[in-house]
Each structure stands twice: as C-alpha cells, then as structure tokens.
Structure 1
Amino acid sequence: MSVTHEQIMLTSFDEASARRALALAGEALEIEADAIRKLHARLGRDDSVPRAVALMLACRGRVVVSGMGKSGHIARKIAATLASTGTPALFLHPAEAAHGDLGMVTAQDVLVAISYSGESSELAVVLPAVKRMGVPVIAMTGKPASRLAQVADVHLDVSVDKEACPLNLAPTTSTTVTLALGDALAVALLELRGFKPDDFARSHPGGALGRRLLTHVRDVMRSGAAVPQVAPDALLTDALLEISHKGMGMTAIVDADGRPVGVFTDGDLRRLIEKGQHFGQLRIRDVMHLEPRRIHPDRLAVDAVAVMEEFRINQMLVTGDDGKLVGALHIHDLTRAKVI
C-alpha cells in the first residue's frame, strides 16, 4: 500500500514537534512585537522623525527609497506605500544606481537609504554622488555610529536587541521594525497632506475602493434606446412589451416633456395578476407607481446602491438637472461594474 505525503508528514511531525513549532512561532512574534514597542518608546527622544517627515513633506520631486538585500525588499514596500498615499516615491536599486540608474534621481528629490549595518558598500558608492547633487539623505540604520548614519541629514534609529532568527543572523526583527517605521512615516505624511479617500481611490483605480469612489451613475447607467419608457396613455400591454424588449424588469412612464411621472415593474405586474385584473384596455397611467426613485447622473454609483438597498428596489431612473429622463440603472449594472 502506498504511503501519502500527508501520512509521512504526520508520522515525522508528532505532537511534540507541533508544540515546539507553536512555541517558536510565538517567541518570534513576541520578539518582533517587543522591538516595535521599543521603537515607539524612543520616537519622542529626539526630533529625527519630525525632521524626516518635514524633509519628505517639503520635497518637490520624489522620495527615492534605496537598500540592498532584505533592506531592498523593505525599501520597495516603503516606496510603494508612500506612492499610494500621496507622496510620490520610487525604489532605486543601489547596485544599478552605480551603473546608470542614478540618473533617475534629481536635485528636487529626497533619498531614504536603508541599511541595518549602515555600511552597505553599494549605498556607499552612491551617496557621494547624491550628496554632490544636494539631495537630502534620510538614513534608516540600526547603527548610529555607522558611515551612513553619519553622512545623513537625518538618521532614523531602527536598532533591535536581537533578531527573531534563533541564530540571530537572518534579518527578521530588524526588517519588521524598519517596515513599521516606514509605515508610520507614510501615515504621518498622509495626514499632513490632507490625503482623503477619493485621493486614495485615484491612486487605486483598479481596486474595489477606486471603483466605489470613482464610478459615477453616468458611467454604468443605460441610456438612449436602451431605456424602457412609454407615455402615460399607453396600453398596459404595450408597456409590458417595452419591459420585455428592454430587459430591465420595468419601464418608466414619461410625459410629453420627457419627465418621468411613474414607473411600472415586474413586481407591479405580479400584484395585478394576484388581484385578477383584466388587462384589455387598461392604461399604464392607471396602474403605474407614482413618484419613482431617481438619481442624478453625476452622483456616485455607490449612492445608487444605498438607495436601492434602503428601499429594496432593483431599478432606478436617472434624471438630469431639468428633471428629464436621461437613463436607467439596474442592480445588475452595478454588479457588473463591481461597485457592489
């Protein structure tokens, strides 16, 4: 009988091993959490953080974030967070910078250089050229006496007592603390810039928040010939044909000036059938629902969702400033646009 991979794993990974794994994981998390608490405690001991924020806030170019190895990965994330929260930023690979990419940096930029040891040889090559350009340098290191810390305009201390790695070698706690401080700087800048949810949406047009805050009713509504509508004097049977042809489960009833005076839905039809109503020569004005819900095309699509949910309806009419019908909206249109 063949032995599965899962059976082998369960055989070699006994209950004692599971307890040990949990203990090691918990210890690593506690070490990193303690390091962040200590970072928080020393924030107010000097003015390094306010000075760093002031430099980035006054930057007329971009915040260029650079680092090698694991510090490089953290630098990429910090640059991405800054860029998505209102502070133009980019990542610069220090090794590539020494071979041409330094041309990405301008005198209007600010450099955030990350190296826990503060002795990164790749950054050491780049720094003199950056300093000659007059670019302010913010260093994030764990060694205040390092070369990088000494040449920087502002030094941010990200020192830790020990790494979460049992060997105290792999960058774990130090990278977590550096990333946390990067997030803290981005949040401070976000607030000081007056960055709002709609600003965030413009930076994330492909995301759910972007769709919710950037999609307007006019972007998803049906218009022109796709909008079901009949005159008040139309026969109910003609209105039913309009409902069937346009596929919205309703029709607007519009007066001679193009303004909606009512609406008739599939639900209204079911209620008529339940009453045993004869359709023969029945006019739509006699059975339409008065004062239909409507919305302006410039309103956000999420506003339409809110109205539909509040009144438990699946369709809405869209009217312009003059009150005339310009479109119609179905809940399915909002679903397809991923607004909901």
Structure 2
Amino acid sequence: MKTQIEPPTTEQYITYAVDAIRTEQNALELLIQQLDERFVQACELIRNCKGRVVVTGMGKSGHIGRKIAATFASTGSPAFFMHPGEAGHGDLGMLVPGDVLLAISNSGESDEIKTLLPVVKQLSIPLISISRDKRGMLPKSADVALTLGASEEACPLGLAPTSSTTATLALGDAIAVALVHARDFTSEDFALSHPAGALGRKLLMRVSDLMHQAEKDLQLPLVNTDTTLHNALFVMTSGRLGMAVVVDDNNKVVGIFTDGDLRRCLEKKIDLETPMSQIMTPNPKQVSKNMRASDALSVMNEKAISQLLIVDDEQQLEGVISIHDLLQAGVS
C-alpha cells in the first residue's frame, strides 16, 4: 500500500515544470551539436525523392513521426505515416521504389522496425534513421543515420520519452524548414495544401471570387461626370452598394460618390442639379481582381474605406467589393 504524501506546493509545481523545460532545452542544445554532413545528406535524399517520404516509428516515436509526416506533406514533401506493426502484416505494400523511408527509434533497436529492414533493403529504398546514437541495428542499417545525442529525459524516472521526443520533433521540423528554403517553397505553394479554414481563405481567396460584377449583378452603379446629383441618386438607390462610380467619356473610372458624400452634400445644401464632376471624390482607390481578398481587406482598413473599385488594365470598372463582402466570407 502506497504511503500518502502531501500534494506539492505551488512553488514545487513551478520548479518541476522549469526543471523539465530546461532538461528538454539541454536536449535541443545537444541536438544542435549533432548537426553535420549527415543532415545535409538526409535533406538531399528527401529533396530528390521521386516518390513519397514514408515515416515510421513505434510508440511515442510513432506519434512524433505522424507529426513530422504531416509537416513534410504541408511544406512540399509528399509524405505519410506507416505504422511499423501494421507494416509487417501487409501495410509494407505502401512502400514502393522511389520512396524514402524515415524510421524513428530512440534506442535504434525497435523490433517492429528491424523486421522491416530486409524488405526495405530488397526494394532498394533509401533509409534515414533517427536515434539517440549510432549503436543500434537501425542506424547501422541506414543510408543516413541521424542522431539526437544521449540527452537526459525530463521524466524524473528517466523512463517516459520526453526530451528525446522533443529533440526528434525539432529535428523533423529542421529538415522540413531546410527543404522549404531548398525548394523556394512559397506561400502560394503552401496554400494549395491548406484550402480549408481561415488559412486557406487568407492565402487562396481572390477579390474576383467575391466582387460584385455586371455579369452576376443586374447593373453596376455607373454615372458620367456630367450626371446630376438628382439622377445619381436614382442610380445609387437602384442598386445595393450605396454608391455610384463616376466614369469619363471613355468609361475610365475618375471618381466615386458614396453615402458619405451624399451626407456632406445635404449638410451643405448642394443643388440637386450639380454635376458629379463637382461633388465626387476623385481618384478613388482601385485594385486588381487578382489581389488576395485578405490584402484587399488590409487596404480598406489602412485607408479607412468600406469599398474598393476593381478595374482592368484600361482603368475601366470590372466590379466592386465591400468590407461586408469580405467579412461575410470569413476573410481576416
């Protein structure tokens, strides 16, 4: 029967946490010292891979391996996780010539992974290993044996994988980041694998996806420079944009007349027969339909405006987009 002990004090809890974090921090410092030509070789194997990076690992190494595979896949290196236990019962068929196998085992002696090695060799699959040191069967069988260094686990019993898994995750991230640089991987490339949610909307959605345009709406609110305030009001109220776009004789955008302009005209008691050329706001902010929707929102916030005009190369109106359109679409 276990002896009951007093629960830790607040200070003790904080001390335990600080000690654990510092121990893992030391493991990362040790990892940095392990980086050498082997890291470069591993990156080059993955960069030149014609197939997929197949990541495998048992237990906690497997959990870390899943995250590494996911990070590779989202940063331009097609990858997936293969459970080593299931691989020995058929899932090894996931591995085909042209792939690269990244196997994780802190001891380098995972039985489930060792079982796979003869087949991996027969298929001529390049093998990258991640382990504490080079003494196990796995690193000895690898084409590139990456090591973490003999760090101390943060677990006070020295049993639960803590520092070692932190270092493994950091090493996987380091490979992924190095390959982002090596491939000149851009935010546009990143967006193609992240189409959903706020990130996808930020990177993929364009002004053209949300703007009001003549083909979709009944009519864009266009008026000429000599259109009177009286007639412009009919154009404004017939639409739903609360504005009129002023164009010259060549249909080029030269100004805008908004609800705010109308309020100022009423305050000044401007005659209803006054032409737009005298009361419009000249040179309104214009953007291309190819602009990211998130960038359009930034422009509106910066200029303290609620609408943007979308024009073509000839400065002719293609559409209108409002801040409400962007917010309703979830752009932020």
Q: Same fold (TM over 0.5)?
A: yes
Does the alignment pair 1:275 with 2:265?
Answer: no
Native 8 Å contact 1:250 1:315 kept in 2: no
Change (3 A) 1:226 1:25: farther
SS at match of 1:327: strand
SS at match of 1:230: strand
Native 8 Å contact 1:263 1:292 kept in 2: yes
Native 8 Å contact 2:244 2:257 kept in 1: yes
Native 8 Å contact 2:26 2:151 kept in 1: no
Looking at structure 1, the residues matched to 155 and 8 of structure 2 have their Cα atoms a distance apart, in angstroms, of 21
Matches within 5 A, 1:165-184: 165-184=155-174
- Which of 271, 281, 306 is 1:289 aligned to? 281
Native 8 Å contact 1:259 1:323 kept in 2: yes
1:57 is matched with 47
- Which of 228, 235, 242 is 1:242 aligned to? 235
Q: CA deviation at 1:168?
A: 0.8
86-95 vs 298-307, greater mean Cα deviation? 298-307
Does the alignment pair 1:262 with 2:255?
Answer: yes
Q: CA deviation at 1:299?
A: 2.7
In structure 2, stretches of 5+ residues that fail to align are: none
**Aligned-pair Cα RMSD in Å:** 2.2
Q: Deviations over 1:290-312 (max 9, x none)?
A: 22222222233344334333432
Q: Deviations over 1:55-99 (max 9, x none)?
A: 111111111100111110000000111111111111111112122
Looking at structure 2, the residues matched to 30 and 40 of structure 1 have their Cα atoms a distance apart, in angstroms, of 15
Q: CA deviation at 1:15?
A: 9.5
Whichever residue aligns with residue 118 of structure 1, its letter is G
2:181 is matched with 191
Looking at structure 2, the residues matched to 243 and 127 of structure 1 have their Cα atoms a distance apart, in angstroms, of 73
Native 8 Å contact 1:78 1:182 kept in 2: yes
Does the alignment pair 1:309 with 2:301?
Answer: yes
Stretches of 4+ aligned residues off by more than 6 angstroms: none
Q: Deviations over 1:81-123 (max 9, x none)?
A: 1111111111111112122221211110000001112221211
57-66 vs 93-102, greater mean Cα deviation? 93-102
SS at match of 1:106: coil
Change (3 A) 1:75 1:292: same
Does the alignment pair 1:82 with 2:67?
Answer: no
TM (norm. structure 2) is: 0.90
Q: Deviations over 1:248-293 (max 9, x none)?
A: 23111234543323210011011112212243x3443442222222
What percentage of aligned pairs have identical amino acids?
46
259-268 vs 299-308, greater mean Cα deviation? 299-308
1:103 is matched with 93
17-26 vs 95-104, greater mean Cα deviation? 95-104
Q: CA deviation at 1:324?
A: 1.9
SS at match of 2:9: helix
2:121 is matched with 131
1:23 is matched with 15
In structure 1, stretches of 5+ residues that fail to align are: 1-12
2:61 is matched with 71
SS at match of 1:50: helix
TM (norm. structure 1) is: 0.88
Looking at structure 2, the residues matched to 172 and 303 of structure 1 have their Cα atoms a distance apart, in angstroms, of 41
SS at match of 1:190: helix
Q: Deviations over 1:233-262 (max 9, x none)?
A: 444233223323433231112345433232
Does the alignment pair 1:321 with 2:313?
Answer: yes
Change (3 A) 1:285 1:30: same
How many equivalent residue pairs?
Answer: 326
Native 8 Å contact 1:31 1:173 kept in 2: yes
Looking at structure 1, the residues matched to 289 and 279 of structure 2 have their Cα atoms a distance apart, in angstroms, of 27
Looking at structure 2, the residues matched to 16 and 306 of structure 1 have their Cα atoms a distance apart, in angstroms, of 50
